[in-house]
Amino acid sequence: MDEQATSNDQRWYVIHTQTGQELKVKSNLEHKVQQGPASSQISEVLVPTERVAEIRGGKKHISERKFFPGYLLVKMEMTDESWHAVRTTPGVTGFIGAGRRPVPLSEDEVAEILRQTEERKDKPSPRVSYQKGEGVRVVDGPFSNVTGIIEEVNVNRGKLKVMVPVFGRQAPLEVEFWQVERL
């Protein structure tokens, strides 16, 4: 079977793994695919991740976090060989789907997951989320160590509007998520 015909029959499936073992399962599955009969039926194994920013020791640190802990995405043609290759990989607990037959993701679902993965690789998101009315301390910038109350949260831009005291009055200060910490 040629490569073009194989890729047209392939769909994305969600595999449940033991939590914390996603990268190990990905590596084991890719190794198994290279050496087994399912090599033409499984083309891609993906652990969706995002970059997250946090302050540790007064410095900004960026690390990776899994979007869906305990899950992998696999692009494959569903055959007995490919199903068996995935199911017998150490750390795999099963496919996601109704009944005994795995249900593939729709093209729209896959496109959205891949879009979010790409988008979040470029701009780190905060490790913690904030809510209006919450007290925070600024940890970076000219207002370092000033405390205030969150007035507005803009998740898309990764910014907060914090009301801080300036010359005896409350004034709005726009900061990035990583520039504050909870009180």
Same domain flag for 15 and 100 = yes
Same domain flag for 9 and 88 = yes
CB atoms within 10 A of CB 176: 16
**Residue 51: which CATH number?**
3.30.70.940
Same domain flag for 116 and 142 = no
User: In the prediction, which pLDDT does 123 show?
Assistant: 67
Domain of residue 99 covers 3-126
Same domain flag for 121 and 141 = no
Same domain flag for 120 and 149 = no
Burial class (CB in 10 A: 0-12, 13-18, 19+), 137: middle
Same domain flag for 30 and 86 = yes
**Residue 174: which CATH number?**
2.30.30.30
Count the domains in the chain.
2
Mean pLDDT per 10-residue interval, the chain, length 183 residues: 53 92 93 84 89 71 84 92 90 84 89 83 70 92 91 85 92 88 87
Q: What is the pTM of this model?
A: 0.65
